[in-house]
Structure 1
Amino acid sequence: MRGTLLTGTERAILWGGIAAGLAFAACMSYLMEKETDSSIWVHVLIWGVTLFGTAMAVGSYLPDPEERRGRAMQEAGQARHVQGRIASVRHRGLRETERIRQTRLAITAIMPLEDGTERMVELDVLVEDSLLPRFSTGQHIDLMHDPDDPDFVSIDRSRSPVMVQ
């Protein structure tokens, strides 16, 4: 069920960002070598800063692993939908743009299994701030999981949205 976790657009963003970063670093290194007698450390600095910046920029456009897991399960059509309960929540940071503010939460949820037992699952998810009250301790949360691998869990965004549409 896992398959690829990146869509075609996401792969294009990833490879396009990597290609642009490499092209920039190569041009800067060439210009530095042509214009000055620069040491190897100047090139290391150019390449290091460029690759780090590229990784951060590309990473900010890709969905989180938890969201990709959910998308993969929905596309496969074999996900089991269950209603769990949030046992604990930890705030792990913020992500803010000019149009949206999201809080990164580390959620520990109790997920019922088909055999009547319960399993504790950990989810790392971004939630729009206006929806934070729905993700507090004791609240019910809709989950989906792979029937063959109960550790492959995601929030069912169609029933427990994390963003205002």
Structure 2
Amino acid sequence: MSLRSALRAQTADCHAGVDALFGNFSLFDIRTYKTFLRAHARVVPSVEAALEQAGIEQLLPDWPERRRAHLLLADMAELQEPPPPLLARPDLRGGAALWGAVYVLEGSKLGGAMLAKAVPDDLPSSYLSPHGPKGSMRAFMERLDTSGIDDMAAAVAAARGVFDLFLKAAQLELEAV
């Protein structure tokens, strides 16, 4: 089984949970859109920082073009929404954990591109809008498939940990409104 297949199969429940919880956010309404962005802002900067601290650029040399925390924070600034407190950085040790964590962030771009269509034109949506070099998702999947990682359990655990952070962030923000 490829790492991609293992990650997809063994995190399907997490993915479904995140999709269901984030489905409670109406991106047409500025208040709930801000709440949605705040939930993401609790996680994305932390995970990106953890990936960078653990050396993600060794695995993905184009990492700087893949980062999105700055886009998220720019959208929030345009909406005059201060960043919320960050959730704790995940502890990412080893290549398998890096691949698992970045798998979740890269996958969220696909969902973001679909969600961007729901954001009214007068609201900033650079975080959700497709960006990066053309074919970057395909290139990511190819690198994932050829990563040579044999510790799939560590990759899956890291991915599930990042999904859990998104769930916790969404719950915190939904409870606050």
TM-score normalised by the chain length of structure 1 = 0.22
Bigger radius of gyration, 1 or 2?
A: 1
Considering fraction of residues, name the structure with more strand.
1
